[in-house]
Amino acid sequence: MIKALANCFRIPDLRKRLLITLSLIIVYRIGCYIPTPGIETAALAEFFNRISKTTGGALFGIMNMFSGGAMERLTIFALGIMPYISSSIILQLLTAVIPALERLSKEGRAGFQKINQYTRYGTVILAFVQSFFIALWLEKPPGFEGLEIVSSPGWGFRLLTVLTLTSGVIFIMWLGEQIQERGIGNGISLIITVGIISRIPIAIYQLFVLVSPFSKAERVLSPFVLLIMAVLLIGVIIAVTFITQGQRRIPVQYARRVIGKRIYGGQSTYIPLKVDTAGVIAIIFAQSVILFPATLSSFIPHPVFRKFSNIIERGYLLYALIYACLIIFFCYFYTAIVFNPSEISENMKKYGGFIPGIRPGSATAEFLDFVMTRITLAGALFIAFIAIFPDFISRWLKVPYLVASFLGGTGILITVGVMLDTIRQIESNLLMHHYEGFIRTGRIKGRR
């Protein structure tokens, strides 16, 4: 491993890409500490301290995780990359239902660039709307009377906040594209991962407070509990790695064709069907649905919304059951959108391919749909278990949720997937220049 890391800096092109990636990530982290004008810092800290103890605090915990802690400080990068993720998901869903976008997606690089441009427009619109409502909300936070977060409320503050936060989202989007083109790895995914990893020092500090014998905390963790947490962390990382890389390979045989004096086909290949096709997107969808009542109760302090949000509260069995069912549903929903067995069957038939023992055409489509349905169930159950695992750990071991979140949940899925992707790209560069990679046997498979 150490030798492979040293070899990374011996290849000029790879060294340049790594340095560019690190430089742009440092720029992003600096921006996470530049405050938005017109905000009283002490009042803002008190506000987030109070809201974290309410049912609506779960939503802001998620937004704060994706923004790398910028949300609780309300910096210029407070919205993070979430508007871009939301816009990408919306465009992906629309591509499956709007014929014009579907035709555009099949036009190769030109179509991809056009859809990417639509994604950028959608990102700006979402960022504009979100930042405007955040500005209104901070001026008069419902249920938190007496806190003067904004020093000079009014349209001047609103416009300044909208311009600042929207510009921050556009700049983060640009940073991600620059990492994608000039650096190494998926730029947007790396930015999210860096934001998640930046929360580790705070989690370690909270854990240290619970472990220290001089701590004033209500409960001091024993070394045995720390050992259990360490074993669980290693086990979860290994399990997530296996599921992220897991796939069912369907063998495909191409018939030999003679065209003129050339012979085409006659080769064997396979169709890789991923166990975890939806991945983090299913969790994001499920979180958006289950946190909607808590969001309404935070913005609109109506007794009906508050009562409903109290029924579905994180850490309780009902919440875990509904959350798990939503994740399983969205795993199937997203897989049905991105995986089209009929289209795959037609393409195979067009080029003379067939699955041994399965007739081409509708029989092949039914077989692929049957296999995908079965392996998606295994992936969906695992994702649901990983998503609700931190809630049980937090209640069982009596540790803060920030500490328990590194034993499962969205953060661990994103981090493991992005790290595997980045290592795979680095290893490809090393092997291309005849250097030894990170592993001596086999290959690292990325998420795509």
Mean pLDDT along residues 239-258: 82
Q: How confident is the model at residue 174 (pLDDT cuts 50, 70, 90)?
A: very high
Q: What is the mean pLDDT of the chain?
A: 79
Q: How confident is the model at residue 204 (pLDDT cuts 50, 70, 90)?
A: confident
d(CA 149, CA 144): 10
Domain assignment present for 365: yes
Q: Tell whether the model's pLDDT for residue 386 goes beyond 80.
A: yes
Q: How many domains does the chain have?
A: 2
Domain assignment present for 355: yes
**What are 122-168's pLDDT values in tens digits?**
999 989 988 888 888 788 776 666 667 787 888 888 899 999 999 99
Q: Say if residue 189 is in the same domain as residue 220.
A: no
d(CA 342, CA 93): 18
Domain assignment present for 288: yes
Q: Say if residue 134 is in the same domain as residue 255.
A: no
Q: Tell whether the model's pLDDT for residue 392 goes beyond 90.
A: no
Q: Say if residue 258 is in the same domain as residue 359.
A: yes
Q: Say if residue 390 is in the same domain as residue 291.
A: yes
Q: Tell whether the model's pLDDT for residue 350 goes beyond 90.
A: no
Domain assignment present for 278: yes
Q: What is the pLDDT of residue 183?
A: 86
Q: How confident is the model at residue 439 (pLDDT cuts 50, 70, 90)?
A: low
Pairwise pLDDT comparison (405 vs 326), residue with the higher score: 326
Domain assignment of residue 395, given as a range: 205-407
Q: Tell whether the model's pLDDT for residue 329 goes beyond 70.
A: yes
Q: Say if residue 60 is in the same domain as residue 99.
A: yes
Q: Tell whether the model's pLDDT for residue 190 goes beyond 80.
A: yes
CATH number for the domain harbouring residue 119: 1.10.3370.10
Mean pLDDT along residues 394-402: 75
**What are 296-306's pLDDT values in tens digits?**
555 555 566 55
Q: Say if residue 105 is in the same domain as residue 224.
A: no
Q: Say if residue 15 is in the same domain as residue 65.
A: yes
Q: Say if residue 98 is in the same domain as residue 236.
A: no
Q: What is the pLDDT of residue 424?
A: 82
Mean pLDDT along residues 319-330: 86
pTM of the model as a whole: 0.79
